[in-house]
Amino acid sequence: MTEQEKGPASNFIAAIVSADIRANKNDGKVMTRFPPEPNGYLHIGHAKSICLNFGLAQDFNGVCNLRFDDTNPTKEEQQYIDSIKEDVRWLGFDWRDRLYFASDYFEKFYEFAVYLIKKGKAYVDSLSADEIREYRGTLTRPGRESTYRQRSVEENLDLFERMKQGEFPDGTHVLRAKINMASGNLNMRDPVMYRILHASHHRTGNTWCIYPMYDFAHGQSDAIEGITHSICTLEFEDHRPLYDWFIDELELACHPQQIEFARLNLTYTIMSKRKLVRLVAEGHVQDWDDPRLPTISGLRRRGFTPEAIRDFCGRIGVAKKDSTVDMALLEHCLREDLNKRAPRVMAVLKPLKVVLENYPEGQVEELDAVNNPEDPAAGSRKVPFARELYIEQDDFMEEPVKKFFRLAPGREVRLRYGYFITCTGIKKDDATGEILELRCTYDPATRGGNAPDGRKVKATLHWVSAQHSLPAEVRLYSHLFTRENPAAAEEGEDFTTYINPESLEILSGCRLEPNLADARPESIYQFERLGYFCADRHDCTGGRLVFNRSVTLRDAWTKIKKKA
RNA sequence: UGGGGCGUCGUCAAGCGGUAAGACACAGGUUUUUGGUGCCUGCAUUCGGAGGUUCGAAUCCUCCCGCCCCAGCCA
C-alpha cells in the first residue's frame, strides 16, 4: 500500500482544518506554507513539517507555499536556499509558482511599522542591548518601561526614518512595539520589531540597513500571502499572542490561525541546527550530506528514498507531546520500501576464498538469479560461477558454535542459485594460523540450488566468482551516537562525547558480482543477506565502485549470537 | 515564585461519557534457495496520582505530582 492509498492523515491539526472547512471559514480554502530560514540544511525534522504542510494542502484541496524566512542577513546564504529547494523537491513536493521570500515584503513591513508608530503602538528605543535586557525584567518579575517609551509620534517617525536612511550605527536604536512591560509573557514586553544591521542581504543587497525581527515578519508574511493555517513548532506557542497582536493592530484583512505541534526527535541522533553545524565544522562528519547525519541530503546519500521518509512522517503522527521516535521506525520504513523495489545482487564484503576441487579448471557457467523475489516483473539475470569463489568470512566457522548452521568443516551448504558445496579442508597461514582459503567439493547434480534427491541444507550462502567479481569499497554506517539521547549530556560532557567511534567502517576489499559494473550513482540494491546499499552519489563514478550501507537486513543470527 | 504547554504499552499514537485502535520494538510459531520477506500468535483489567460527579470516566470537576518552552537587537 502506498502512502497515497492510506488516505488523509488524521491528527489534531487535520481535524482543525477539516472543521474550518465544514464551517466554511476562509471560504473553505486551505493555504499552508513551509517557512525555512536559509541558514542551514534541512533535516528529518523539517521533513515532518514539509509533509505536514504540503500534505494538508494536498488532502484538503489547497496549496502550500515555500517561503524563505530571510530576515537576518548576517546568517543567511544563497547556498542554503539552493539546498533547501533541492531537498523539498527531492522529497517529492511542488510549490509550483509559489516561491516567496519574507524579504519580498520588506517595503510593506516598513509601511506597517510606520502605521503602528502613527497609531502610537510602536516607538524607537535608544537603550543599549544590555539595558533592554535589564529593563525586560525576569521570568518572575515584571519589566520596566524604557525612558524612551514616551517619545512623540513625530520624533519616532523621524528617528525611524533616519534609522532606515543609515544615519545610525548598529545597535544604537531599535523599533519596539508598545504593549505591556508587565506581561507574564515576555514576548509581549515591548518586543523589538526592527534592528539596525548594516549588512548586505543575499537578495536585497544594500537596500536596507534595518531588518524586521521574526515576530514582525512572520505573521505579516502569512497574512500577505493569505495563509489560512500557519503551522509551527511548540516553542512558538508563546509567540502566538504577539502574532495575533500585530495582525490585529495592523488591521490586516487576513488573519491566519497559528497552530503549534511538537518537533521531531529521533533516538541516536541530534536535530538541533547548532549541534549539526558543530558536527560539520569540527570534522566529526565529512559534510552536511554525510550519510550518518539526519539531514535530508545525508539521508539521501545514505540511500533513503523520498517514499520511505514520507511514509515515516505519516506514521509518527502529529501531536503536542514532546516525543522521541525510535530510529528503528525510520529504518523499518526504508526496509519496507526497498524490500519491494531494490534489485537483489550478490556482494561479498569480507571475502574468504573457496576452491571447488572437483570443479573443472577454466569452466565458467552462467547461472540464473532472480532479481527480486518480491517483484516477478523484475526478471532474472545471469551470474558467472567458476572453480574459485569468494564467500563471506562470517559464513564459515572452523569450530561452529551451536545454532550456527552455515559452512564448517565437513558441512554442506547451498550457494545461492549455484550448487551445494561441502567443506573438505582449510588452508591456513602456518605462521599466523589465519585461514587463507577453503577447499570444498560441489555436487554437480544440485545446479541451481536444488538437490534431486530432496536432501536439505540448513544454510544458503551468497558468493561471487573470484575471477569475475569486481573490487569495490563499501562504507558501513551505524548510529552516529552511542546514546539514545546524546543531547542530554552529563556534567562536564557534551554531546560530542557520545559520538560512536564505529559509526563508519570502510571496507576496501569487497567483491561484487559483475552485473554491478555500471551501477549508477544513487542506485540502490539489496546485497543479499546483508542489507540495502546505495551507490555513492559523489564517489561511485569513473569506474570506481563505492557503496554506502543504507540499512542492514533484519538479522536473527546476530540476535542469537548476542544472547549467547 | 510569572506566563505558555504536555502527561494513554519500552517508543510513537488513536480515543472526545458507554466499558483501551494501530504501528515500531520485543517474544514465540510457520513458510522460505536471503537466519530476509510473508503469515499467525502474544504483548496496557488500565490511561501521571488522589479525591469527586455519574448507572457508567482515559474522556467532566477539584487538588496534587512530573516533564518541556520563554528573560536574542536569532528564527
CATH entry 2.40.240.10 includes domain A347-469: yes
pLDDT at A482 over 80: yes
What is the residue extent of each domain of chain A?
A: 3-266, 347-469, 471-564
Closest by alpha carbon to A528, among A381, A360, A408, A398?
A381
pLDDT at A2 over 60: no
pLDDT at A318 over 70: yes
Closest residue to B16 by CA to C1' distance?
A: A12
ipTM of this predicted structure: 0.97
pLDDT at A4 over 80: no
d(CA A61, CA A17): 11
Contacts of A337 (CB under 8 A, 6+ apart): A305, A307, A308, A311
What's the rounded mean pLDDT across residues A503-532? 98
Residue–nucleotide distance: A68 CA to B34 C1' (Å) = 46
Read off the pLDDT of residues A431-459 as tens digits, 9 standing for 90 and up: 999 999 999 999 999 999 999 999 999 99
Strand B nucleotides, any atom under 7 Å from protein beta carbons: they are 1-8, 10-16, 22-27, 33-38, 67-75
Nucleotide nearest to A274 (CA to C1'): B74
Read off the pLDDT of residues A49-93 as tens digits, 9 standing for 90 and up: 999 999 999 999 999 999 999 999 999 999 999 999 999 999 999
Active-site residues of A, by number, are: 37, 263, 273
Residue–nucleotide distance: A343 CA to B9 C1' (Å) = 37
CATH entry 3.40.190.10 includes domain A3-266: no
DSSP state of A67: E
Burial track A96-118 (b if 16+ CB lie within 10 A, e otherwise): eeeebbbbbbbeebbebbbebbe
Q: What's the mean pLDDT when you consider all of chain A?
A: 96
Nucleotide nearest to A561 (CA to C1'): B35
**pLDDT given for residue A3 in this prediction:** 37
* Statement: the CB of A19 is under 7 Å from strand B: no
Does residue A461 or residue A561 have the better pLDDT?
A461
* Statement: the CB of A101 is under 7 Å from strand B: no
* Statement: the CB of A405 is under 7 Å from strand B: yes
Read off the pLDDT of residues A345-354 as tens digits, 9 standing for 90 and up: 999 999 999 9
* Statement: the CB of A218 is under 7 Å from strand B: yes
pLDDT at A491 over 80: no
Read off the pLDDT of residues A408-435 as tens digits, 9 standing for 90 and up: 999 999 999 999 999 999 999 999 999 9
Read off the pLDDT of residues A113-167 as tens digits, 9 standing for 90 and up: 999 999 999 999 999 999 999 999 999 999 999 999 999 999 999 999 999 999 9
Read off the pLDDT of residues A332-343 as tens digits, 9 standing for 90 and up: 999 999 999 999
Q: How confident is the model at residue A493 (pLDDT cuts 50, 70, 90)?
A: confident
Contacts of A219 (CB under 8 A, 6+ apart): A230, A243, A244, A246, A247, A256, A258
pLDDT at A495 over 50: yes
Report residues 322-351 of A contacting strand B, contact meaning Cβ closer than 7 Å.
322-326, 328-329, 331-332, 335-336, 339, 344
Residue A299 three-state SS: helix
What's the rounded mean pLDDT across residues A226-234? 98
pTM: 0.96
d(CA A151, CA A214): 25
**pLDDT given for residue A8 in this prediction:** 66
Any idea which fold A471-564 has? Answer: Ribosomal Protein L25; Chain P (2.40.240)
A3-266 and A471-564 in the same fold: no
Residue–nucleotide distance: A142 CA to B58 C1' (Å) = 39
| Percentage of chain A exceeding pLDDT 70 | 98
Read off the pLDDT of residues A195-207 as tens digits, 9 standing for 90 and up: 999 999 999 999 9
CA distances from A271 to A31, A278, A504 (A): 27, 12, 19
